[in-house]
Structure 1
Amino acid sequence: MITADSFPTPHLALRTNNAAKRADVHAFACLQAAVAEHMRVRLADEFERAGHDHAARIAYLHDLYADLIRWRWELEFDRARTGGDTVRPGYLLPADHGRYRLSLRAGGPNYDRIGAFGRLRDAAVWSPATRTFDGGLSTPASEIMEHYGEQAERRFAAEAPRADELVTTVTLPGGATLPGNRIVRGAAAREVAEHLYARIRARRADTGQVETGGDPMYCVTADPDHADRMFTAALDLLAQAYLDHPDKALRAWQWARFLLYQSPRTKKGSDAVIRTFLVVVGAVVFGVPPVMERDADLRCMVLGQFHATDMFEDHRLLP
């Protein structure tokens, strides 16, 4: 049975030091566990009926992923309908439930700022002159993003020391490679910040406290055509894993995890969808539910494929 234990709260979600507000964030794991257990029962039955029909298993995985996107959108829609559509601590803008089912192909790439920046600090104060949030107290979110900013700089030093853009090379089953997400800094990051500001303004959203100052660094999602190929490869790996020896199945599940984080489907909500999807599929393939690492998304976005594939909790899945 899948429980909330499979969904430790990501550090990035903890953007406040207020105990009551943190409790609300932690409670999301219970929602994930409830839908995951329901979907586990369904997928187990579907895979058993599919038998050796690989194409049928892939189709069931497509359906599962689409249903989880809809589940995440419905959660946000219900929250907005009950008056919860406000800016949450540490977030840039009010939640927009439509973006939880808007594809990146339609909505453009995601720009996720990493490194040290004030918006994730508790009680930071906005400075219009510098377009930064200053002061405040550190939070798990601010600390983890500083850590991954440092990791990104290490990658630059090792792979592209003089560049402002670092492209993640993604290897697919069969050996083909694709350009995955990009990490940008310096002039390239400032250009992204200006584009992000203009894009938010075009949505007629409030840009009064959009933090574009400081020394930004961003992760930029992959080209949609490449992302589609990565997503397709991930589902193929997971469909085959059902019939594989546990060791081989684990490698396939790990590989698929990296590919899914390199190919998010929607503008918002992808992390929760990917975590829930991987736990459901893992529970069916291995007979025990995986435990998602708190920073699985950031590892896959920042560290590169070699360093982001194997994670500590994965050993639980082997007999």
Structure 2
Amino acid sequence: MSGPATREAHESGSDATITAACFPAPALLLRTNAPVAQRTVRAFAGQQAEAARFLARSLAAALRPAPDMRARVAAFIAAFEATEDWRYRAAASSPHSTGRYSPMWADRFRTPITDDNPNLFRVGDHTRFRDGATWDPATRTYQGGTDTPASRTMRRFEALAAARFPPSPRVDVVCNSVSLPDGRIADGTRLLRGAAARRAAAEMTARISARGGDTSRITTSGHLIYTASAPEAERHAIFHHAMTLLARNHTAPADTLTAWLQAAYLLYQAPRRKRGADATIRTFLVAAGTLLLSSPPALPHDIDLRAYTRTHDLFVTELRAAQSIGTTSVGRRI
């Protein structure tokens, strides 16, 4: 038996395959070796799975009556915006009473990234993520401690980011080139070193100071590497192309998987909010991917860092290799 009723039952069952296992905890957040503290970090995967199941059902319902490509793109955009709203609400109801995950910082989860307020992130200083490391104000470095998943991850990606720069010391900025489906090349996330990185560190220090934060342990000199979000116009174009890739009606299973892989890279080059972009993108990718593929796609725990430090082609190649989905079984569910 086949028909709309059977298809709807199949779709509603597909979201049941979305579990917490679809969301491996980013190792960069595992900054202690204490099992109890690590379990607290990993517990967020349950919230992501619940949100992704709801989003998958909502997206499937929105796509069924969509009459054309424009409506399908709009459905995917609405699903992404709903994911952003979920992430904000999760932050606003956070059990953390203090720190950057406390409700008092929730507004940053809905504050847009702009050209005047780009996202900046330091890649490096892995010793600060060692369990039990202590700050030495004389040397302005972290000393001692034992390695953690976070420190090992940061050490690896600092090396990968450094390798992206050419030998010439005069080059302080390397931009991720994003190949768009229409053949154009857009500028994605930028990697900064040298004077550009020191300016980013100074900007970060000024921002944190303006919020009343402690800036005494921020390094603004020496060999630094930072990431900086792409210009606003580029991010808008990249984001729309990601939605278009997902909305297309690919007839070949391999093309469907490739579209999802490409969209993953594009979304990480086009973050929209000051905080929570990574969790938003992961949750959306699993929800949308479950509809498009035969089972939930696999997300490496460090998918965000890979997107920032790897070229477009290399990221897609590595993410494809992480999938256990056979291309012969991949097919659109909606």
TM superposition score normalised by structure 1 = 0.90
**Where in structure 1 are there 5+ consecutive unaligned residues?**
none
Describe how 1:130-279 pairs up with structure 2 within 5 A.
130-157=139-166, 162-212=170-220, 215-240=223-248, 242-279=249-286
Deviation at 1:186, TM superposition (A): 2.3
Query: Is residue 23 of structure 1 aligned with residue 42 of structure 2?
Result: no
2:119 to 106, 110, 121: 110
Task: Answer yes or no: is the 8 Å Cα contact 1:258–1:308 preserved in 2.
Answer: yes
Deviation at 1:134, TM superposition (A): 2.6
Q: Counterpart of 1:210 in 2: which secondary structure?
A: coil
Task: Give deviations 1:200-233, integer Å, cap 9, x for gaps.
Answer: 1122223233354653211111111111110011
Task: Answer yes or no: is the 8 Å Cα contact 2:92–2:103 preserved in 1.
Answer: no
Distance 2:251 2:220 in 1: 47
Question: In structure 2, what residue type is equivalent to 1:184?
Answer: L
Task: Answer yes or no: is the 8 Å Cα contact 1:11–1:294 preserved in 2.
Answer: yes
Deviation at 1:73, TM superposition (A): 1.0
Larger radius of gyration: 2
**Corresponding pairs, count:** 310
TM superposition score normalised by structure 2 = 0.86
Distance 1:150 1:94 in 2: 34
Task: Give deviations 1:213-272, integer Å, cap 9, x for gaps.
Answer: 6532111111111111100110010011x4432111111111110000000111111111
1:9 to 25, 44, 67: 25
Describe how 1:278-317 pairs up with structure 2 within 5 A.
278-310=285-317, 311=319, 312-316=321-325
Query: Is residue 35 of structure 1 aligned with residue 51 of structure 2?
Result: yes
Deviation at 1:293, TM superposition (A): 1.1
Distance 1:112 1:74 in 2: 24
1:70 to 85, 95, 119: 85
Q: Counterpart of 1:156 in 2: which secondary structure?
A: coil
Deviation at 1:173, TM superposition (A): 0.8
Distance 1:36 1:295 in 2: 19
Distance 2:93 2:26 in 1: 23
Task: Give deviations 1:94-135, integer Å, cap 9, x for gaps.
Answer: 971111111102771111111233322222212334443332
Task: Answer yes or no: is the 8 Å Cα contact 2:115–2:231 preserved in 1.
Answer: no
Question: In structure 1, what residue type is equivalent to 2:227?
Answer: C
Deviation at 1:147, TM superposition (A): 0.6
CA gap 1:38/1:286 in 2 versus in 1, 3 angstroms: same
CA gap 1:288/1:110 in 2 versus in 1, 3 angstroms: same
More displaced 10-residue stretch of structure 1: 308-317 or 29-38? 308-317
More displaced 10-residue stretch of structure 1: 149-158 or 208-217? 208-217
CA gap 1:317/1:209 in 2 versus in 1, 3 angstroms: farther
Question: In structure 1, what residue type is equivalent to 2:98?
Answer: T
In the alignment, what sits opposite 2:136? 127
Q: Counterpart of 2:218 in 1: which secondary structure?
A: coil
More displaced 10-residue stretch of structure 1: 284-293 or 269-278? 284-293
CA gap 1:142/1:315 in 2 versus in 1, 3 angstroms: same
Q: Counterpart of 2:93 in 1: which secondary structure?
A: helix
RMSD over aligned Cα, in angstroms? Answer: 2.2
Deviation at 1:285, TM superposition (A): 1.0
Task: Answer yes or no: is the 8 Å Cα contact 1:286–1:317 preserved in 2.
Answer: no
CA gap 1:47/1:225 in 2 versus in 1, 3 angstroms: same
Query: Is residue 44 of structure 1 aligned with residue 60 of structure 2?
Result: yes
Task: Give deviations 1:115-162, integer Å, cap 9, x for gaps.
Answer: 23332222221233444333222111111111111112222147x665
Task: Give deviations 1:55-81, integer Å, cap 9, x for gaps.
Answer: 1111111111111111111111112xx
